[in-house]
Amino acid sequence: MARIPMGKPLVEIDGDEMARVMWHWVKERLIEPYVDLKTEYYDLHIKVRDETNDQITIQAAEAVKRLGVGVKCATITPNAERVKEYNLKKEWRSPNATIREILDGTIFRAPIIVKNIVPAVRFWKKPIVIARHAFGDIYAGTGIRFDEPGEAEIVYRSASGKEIRAKIGSFPGEGVIQAYYNLDRSIISFARSVFTYALTANMDVWFAAKETISKVYDARFKELFAKVFEEEFAEKFKEKNLNYYYYLIDDAYARAIRSEGGFIWATKNYDGDILSDMIAAAFSGSLAMMTSELMSPQGHYLTEAAHGTVQRHYYRYLRGEKTSTNPTAIIFAWAKALKRRAELDGLDTLRRFAELLMEATINTIEEGIVTQDLAKIIEGQNVVVVDTESFIDAIKNNLEKLIAKHINV
């Protein structure tokens, strides 16, 4: 068949270890034979980051800002062991942190749903996407321990010399205090990223806090979310028949359990820390069935798999063994990036291809052809456990059937 044309390129950010190996298999076997793929390529292999003093990471993030869409492979965040293993100049920062900072983006973690993996909560039929505000709160908190009776207050001294004071309390003896903060600017960017993502994903948004108790802090989050929504998004949501709901956090937890899923849950930093792990475990328990998308307030978009470089499998691969590592999240990262590129550029065939690639992957798993991580969590079906390359070949087979049926070329 003639390959499906692309318009603008997307930013391709390569990474490390087993994730990198699978990255190239996916690209060469599931995408390039069908799409005239155009990418601007950045190699974030740990050695390249080391040689460029991590400038390559900054360039990759700037490219996503310029081209609007990217896809990223998992990368090593070096620690002392990695510095030795790869003979690095230093422990370079996490590339994801650098990229998120440059794009001022929010991470959305979304489970990939297949019929034969039953969520722990039986009502859930559609994904619950968690958006975590990764700024401030207790993660930038300051604590004091005291051991005598006394009293405490908070003082804010502005750059111009104004002071705002509030009494915390008087205490009879030993205890602890913690102070933390957030910035309007960051909350507003967060809200914008969430509503922008919702419009592209066609999902409702929930935001939840505890403003009945936290009458200044959480109330400010609630206020700013409402303001950004009303002023910038209410109309676009209406056109698409989508909704924004604010709930008290305890109410939201109870509602989420009873819901069938299918919404984006925007959370404050600590709630998101906990919820994202809980929701991931409750949907399937495998990080290989979870994508991670970064959306900036301006709509710049970067996808990746939620898992890391799968180091242990990589060492087996290097010894020449076949591994049964699951490439599903990597395939979805590519498909979602291609889909976004296609939507921005008005390329309908490319959009359909991206959707068929996801469908072919789901069909393969639902037929019971799986990697070893899923064999353990699928119940009531005889599965065939295959190595990564055979799994990709099985997907390719299903993809070709779908293309023959749905795409005229």
310 contacts ligand NAP (rule: CB under 6 A): yes
Give the span between the Cα atoms of 173 and 147, in whole angstroms: 6
Two tokens at 216?
Answer: 């200044």
3-state secondary structure of 14: strand
Instruction: Report the residue number, 35 or 134, with the smaller CB distance to Mg ion.
Output: 134
277 interacts with, out of Mg ion, ligand NAP, none, CB within 5 to 8 A per kind: Mg ion
Reference 332, options 98, 119, 22, 80; nearest CA is 22
Q: How far is CA 240 from the centre of its chain?
A: 23
3-state secondary structure of 215: coil
Instruction: Report the residue number, 224 or 287, with the smaller CB distance to ligand NAP.
Output: 287
Site residues (CB under 6 A) for ligand NAP, limited to 94-123 = 96
- Identified binder of ligand NAP from the candidate list 59, 298, 311, 349, rule CB under 6 A: 311
Q: Find the residue with minimal CB distance to ligand NAP.
A: 308
Give the span between the Cα atoms of 39 and 69, in whole angstroms: 10
Residues in contact with ligand NAP, shown as a per-residue x/- string from 347 to 366 under the rule CB under 6 A: --------------------
| Interacting span for ligand NAP (CB under 6 A) from 1-9, 179-187, 306-314, 343-351 | 306-314
14 contacts ligand NAP (rule: CB under 6 A): no
277 contacts Mg ion (rule: CB under 5 A): yes
- Identified binder of Mg ion from the candidate list 40, 101, 273, 343, rule CB under 5 A: 273
| Interacting span for Mg ion (CB under 5 A) from 138-146, 268-276, 278-286, 374-382 | 268-276
| Interacting span for ligand NAP (CB under 6 A) from 60-68, 114-122, 273-281, 310-318 | 310-318
Burial of 115 (0-12, 13-18, 19+ CB in 10 A): exposed
Taking the complex as a whole, how short is the minimal distance between the CB of residue 311 and ligand NAP, in angstroms?
4
Reference 247, options 267, 270, 274, 227; nearest CA is 267
136 interacts with, out of ligand NAP, Mg ion, none, CB within 5 to 8 A per kind: none
Site residues (CB under 6 A) for ligand NAP, limited to 65-94 = 74-77
Q: How many helices (H) and strands (E) does the chain have?
A: 15, 16
Give the span between the Cα atoms of 122 and 278, in whole angstroms: 15
| Interacting span for Mg ion (CB under 5 A) from 49-57, 75-83, 201-209, 266-274 | 266-274
- Please give the helix or strand (H or E) that residue 293 lies within, else none: strand 290-295
Instruction: Report the residue number, 205 or 329, with the smaller CB distance to ligand NAP.
Output: 329
- Please give the helix or strand (H or E) that residue 263 lies within, else none: strand 263-267
Sequence-distant (≥ 6) Cβ neighbours of residue 165 within 8 angstroms: 153, 154, 155, 156
Instruction: Report the residue number, 299 or 308, with the smaller CB distance to ligand NAP.
Output: 308
- Identified binder of ligand NAP from the candidate list 373, 383, 395, 403, rule CB under 6 A: 373
Taking the complex as a whole, how short is the minimal distance between the CB of residue 130 and Mg ion, in angstroms?
10
The site that binds ligand NAP (CB under 6 A) totals a number of residues, namely: 17
Whole-number Cα distances in Å, 316 to 77, 307, 309, 322, 323? 20, 18, 13, 8, 7
What DSSP state is assigned to residue 137? Answer: G
Two tokens at 84?
Answer: 């030795």
DSSP symbols for 153-179: EEEEE-TTS-EEEEEEEEESS-EEEEE
Site residues (CB under 6 A) for ligand NAP, limited to 276-295 = 287-288
| Interacting span for ligand NAP (CB under 6 A) from 148-156, 162-170, 240-248, 300-308 | 300-308
Reference 203, options 235, 242, 233, 237; nearest CA is 242
The residues that touch ligand NAP, with contacts defined as CB under 6 A, are: 74-77, 96, 287-288, 304, 307-312, 325-326, 373
The residues that touch Mg ion, with contacts defined as CB under 5 A, are: 273, 277
